[in-house]
Amino acid sequence: MSMTQTQKILARHARLDAVRAGQLILADLDLVLGNDITAPVAIREFGKFGKAAVFDRDKVALVPDHFTPNKDIKAAEQCACLRAFAREQAITNYFDVGRVGIEHALLPEKGLVTAGDCIIGADSHTCTYGALGAFSTGVGSTDMACGMATGQAWFKVPSAIRFVLEGRLPQHVSGKDVILHIIGLIGVDGARYQSMEFTGPGVAALSIDDRFTIANMAIEAGAKNGIFPVDNQTRDYLREVGAREPVIEAADDDAVYEATHTIDLGSLRPTVSFPHLPSNTRTIDAVGEVKIDQVVIGSCTNGRLSDLRIAAEILKGRTVAPHVRVIIFPATQKIWLQAMEEGLFRIFVEAGCAVSTPTCGPCLGGHMGILAAGERAVATTNRNFVGRMGHVESEVYLANPAVAAASAVTGYLTDPATLETV
Q: What is the predicted pLDDT for the residue at 420?
A: 67
pLDDT above 50 (res 190): yes
Number of CB atoms found within 10 A of residue 278's CB: 22
CATH number for 5-264 (one of 3.30.499.10, 1.10.8.60, 3.30.70.260, 1.20.1440.230): it is 3.30.499.10
Going by pLDDT thresholds of 50, 70 and 90, the confidence category of residue 360 is confident
Average pLDDT over residues 341-364: 94
pLDDT tens track for 252-263: 999 999 999 999
pLDDT in tens, 175-187: 999 999 999 999 9
Q: Note the pLDDT tens digit of each residue in 54-105.
A: 999 999 999 999 998 888 999 999 999 999 999 999 999 999 988 999 999 9
Q: What is the rounded distance in angstroms from the CA atom of residue 181 to the CA atom of residue 85? A: 42
- With 90 as the cut, is the pLDDT of residue 361 above it? no
Residue partners of 8: CB distance under 8 A and separation at least 6 = 249, 250, 251
The rounded distance, in Å, linking the Cα atoms of 384 and 395 is 7
CATH topology for the 275-419 domain: Aconitase; domain 3 (3.30.499)
- CATH 3.30.499.10 in the chain, residue ranges: 5-264, 275-419
The answer, yes or no, to whether residue 421 has pLDDT greater than 70, is no
pLDDT tier at 422, thresholds 50, 70, 90? very low
pLDDT score, position 364: 85
Q: What pTM value is reported for the model? A: 0.94
First to last CA, the chain: 59
276 Cβ neighbours under 8 A, 6+ residues apart: 384, 385, 386, 388, 395, 396
Interatomic CA distance for residues 13 and 28, integer angstroms? 5
- Residue-wise pLDDT for 275-294, tens only, equals 999 999 999 999 999 999 99
Per-residue pLDDT tens over the stretch 192-247: 999 999 999 999 999 999 999 999 999 999 999 999 999 999 999 999 999 999 99
The contacts of residue 259 (CB under 8 Å, 6+ apart) are 161, 162
Pairing of β 354-355 and β 225-227 = unpaired
Q: Crossing angle for the helix pair 333-341 and 344-351, nearest 10 degrees?
A: 80
* Mean model confidence pLDDT for the chain: 95
**d(Cα 340, Cα 363) in Å, to the nearest integer?**
22
Q: Is the peptide bond preceding residue 276 cis, with omega within 30 degrees of 0?
A: yes
